[in-house]
Amino acid sequence: MKKLISILLLSIVSSLSFAAGDYDGIWQAENTSVFATIHQNEDSLVFVILGADEWSALQGTLQGSQASLSKVTGSGNSIGLSVELQFESATKLTLKVLTCNSIIENACDNLEDLEVLFGRIF
């Protein structure tokens, strides 16, 4: 009986270690020191961007190879963002800023219509 329980527990634990989403991992924006981490659970996606001075956490849904996300929190909380991620492959994605809203004048000037290419590094 102990062997059976051990085998069942081992099979459950080993199957959980492979529960990562297709896009989970660490990503880097092309030609920059900006990084992002992606955590996927079925059609839910969390995208955390880590820059030198700022960070943002976005959450949304994944449909096929495209995700629509909205900023949840981060530094510069006065800026509201919605973005689209287009996964070109399991190792390449394009982030496009769809909307940027801020109570601070000119805070969105460099973000509107911004497109950034990311490559998966881990």
Measured at the CA of 15, the angle between CA 44 and CA 43, to 5 degrees, comes to: 10
pLDDT of residue 48: 96
pLDDT of residue 4: 43
pLDDT of residue 53: 85
Q: Which residues of the chain have pLDDT under 70?
A: 1-19
Q: Which of these, 51, 32, 58, lies nearest to 116 by C-alpha position?
A: 32
Angstrom distances, CA of residue 116 to CA of 84, 86, 104, 112: 11, 11, 23, 12
Q: How many CB atoms lie within 10 A of CB 103?
A: 8
pLDDT of residue 17: 47
Q: How many CB atoms lie within 10 A of CB 85?
A: 23
Please report the domains of the chain, with CATH numbers, ordered by start residue.
Answer: 20-120 (2.40.128.30)
DSSP, residue by residue, 64-105 = TTEEEEEEEEESSTTEEEEEEEEESSSSEEEEEEEEEEESST
